[in-house]
Amino acid sequence: MWLPRALVVLLLVGGCCAGAMGTGEEGVRRAGPGTGAPAGSGEYAGGREGAAFEQLWVDPRSSAARQVTEWRIAGRAADAELMDRIASRPQAEWVTGTSPRTAVQAVTTAAARAGRAAVLVAYDIPGRDCGQYSGGGALGVLDYRTWVDEFAVGLGDRGAYVIVEPDAVAQVVAGCTQVDAEERYALLAYAVERIKRQPHARVYLDAGNSGWIPQPARLVEALRAAGVGQADGFALNVSNFQTDQDSSVYGDALSRALGGKHYVVDTSRNGNGPYTGTDTGIDAGTGTDAEPWCNPPGRALGTPPTTVTGRPRLDAQLWIKRPGESDGTCRGGPPAGQWWPSYALELAGNARS
């Protein structure tokens, strides 16, 4: 699920801004935070959507967008049309590594100029991903606090939704022993509180997915220790494949346990639900069978990003994982976060909309 540092630099500093997008909140049609997004037809690069879609910024320089252009030039018109199902829709921008202030400022400025808000993923916690495919992160406590401070300064007063540290809570609850739980939760609480100080930031602390920690009650104390009380809510299904229905039922149960907290769900690749096949494939890094969540075959794009959810505590369905970026070196995939056009094409070709 990681966007490599080199790719962050390539996307964000060249020309103006690589991707981010945002949502709004409260009510059936929610107005994005501090965007001043005008009402209108809902026209966007790939066609026409409802007015709520208008608040979400589409990155014109995304890997998918460049792929569309390349394939059209090469005469692959049908493939380009399918790829446009990804390129024309908003996806979150993952921020990691050095210079978060520059990255965040570039993305949110681009979104604000378009009258829309950004969706960002803060992803640099020490001991990230429990040393797996997306391992890395800040070197220690002080390094991470400085990183968070720079991230927040980059936001300024521009509207943004921020997903805080995918997997960081759930991995500890699931038994990761490579990090100190108390220290991890304290750092997450710091990140939530610091980013939330920005006047138009909406902050969602990641809470894993319904297939990982099936009993939401197991997450409650950990999320509280990690600062969910200061957040606007929590995020579910990031980089995973659980169905909309399962995530909503799970989210509502976790919300009740947390006193009514709102939540967002990643729907970027859940159109066919989680993988249940027997063809596991091989992890090139370990030589063992790949996990069901790692580049599973036969998956599809899910519900397009929207703030019209029909559920009072579900603020938005977002494409947080960028469709077509690898989960890791399994099933023939490149390293985590790298663009994989054949997998992206499969996701788009299997999509229902």
Selecting among 167, 232, 246, 283, the annotated active-site residue is: 167
Please identify which residue in the block is written with the tokens 């169905």: 243
Active site residue 279: no
CA distance 310 to 152: 31
Selecting among 129, 206, 244, 283, the annotated active-site residue is: 129
What is the Cβ-side half-sphere exposure of residue 106, based on CA atoms within 13 angstroms? 22
Selecting among 59, 124, 266, 327, the annotated active-site residue is: 327
CA distance 7 to 63: 10
Please identify which residue in the block is written with the tokens 């399962």: 246
Distance (Å) of CA 90 to CA 34, 200, 263, 320: 18, 19, 18, 9
Active site residue 283: no
**Per-residue DSSP letters for 57-126?**
PP-TTSHHHHHHHHHHHTT-HHHHHHHHHHHTS---EEE-SS-HHHHHHHHHHHHHHTT-BEEEEE---T
In angstroms, how far is CA 109 from the centroid of its own chain? 19
Residue 157: CB atoms within 10 Å:
11
CA distance 121 to 337: 13
Are β-strands 43-44 and 47-48 bridged in parallel, bridged antiparallel, or unpaired? antiparallel
* Residues designated as active site: 129, 167, 327
